Amino acid sequence: MPASILIVEDEPAIAELVSLHCRHAGYTVKVAHAVLDARDIVDETLPDLVVLDWMLPDKSGIDFARELRRDERTRDLPILMLTARAAEDDKVRGLEVGADDYVTKPFSPKELVARIKALLRRAAPDVSEEPLEVAGLRLEPASHRVTGNGTELKVGPTEFRLLRFFMARPERVMTRQALLDGVWGDHVFIEERTVDVHVRRLRLALEPSGHDALVETVRGGGYRLRKQPLR
CB 7, CB 147: distance < 8 Å: no
208, part of any domain? yes
210, part of any domain? yes
Domain stop point among 123, 140, 159? 123
- Predicted pLDDT at 126: 60
CATH code of 96's domain = 3.40.50.2300
- The span from the CA of 124 to the CA of 48, in Å, is 8
230, part of any domain? no
231, part of any domain? no
Asked whether residue 196 falls in the same domain as residue 114, the answer is no
* CA nearest neighbour of 222 among 198, 189, 204, 195: 195
Asked whether residue 102 falls in the same domain as residue 19, the answer is yes
Asked whether residue 119 falls in the same domain as residue 136, the answer is no
Asked whether residue 90 falls in the same domain as residue 201, the answer is no
Asked whether residue 152 falls in the same domain as residue 214, the answer is yes
Q: What angle do CA 124, 192, 3 make, to 5 degrees?
A: 25
CATH code of 218's domain = 1.10.10.10
221, part of any domain? yes
| Domain count for the chain | 2
Asked whether residue 109 falls in the same domain as residue 172, the answer is no
Predicted confidence (pLDDT) per residue in 146-202, tens digit = 999 999 999 999 999 999 999 988 888 888 888 887 888 765 567 788 899 999 999
- Predicted pLDDT at 184: 81
Asked whether residue 157 falls in the same domain as residue 206, the answer is yes
Domain stop point among 96, 123, 150? 123
- The span from the CA of 205 to the CA of 189, in Å, is 26
- Predicted pLDDT at 1: 57
Asked whether residue 115 falls in the same domain as residue 171, the answer is no
- Predicted pLDDT at 170: 85
Quote the domain boundaries for residue 148.
132-225
Asked whether residue 19 falls in the same domain as residue 110, the answer is yes
55, part of any domain? yes
**What is the sign, positive or negative, of the torsion defined by CA atoms of 187, 191, 194, 199?**
positive
With a cut of 70, list the residues of the chain below it in pLDDT: 1, 123-128, 186-189, 230-231
- Predicted pLDDT at 127: 60
- Predicted pLDDT at 183: 84
- Predicted pLDDT at 231: 58
- Predicted pLDDT at 181: 79
Asked whether residue 105 falls in the same domain as residue 20, the answer is yes
- Predicted pLDDT at 112: 94
Give the pTM.
0.62
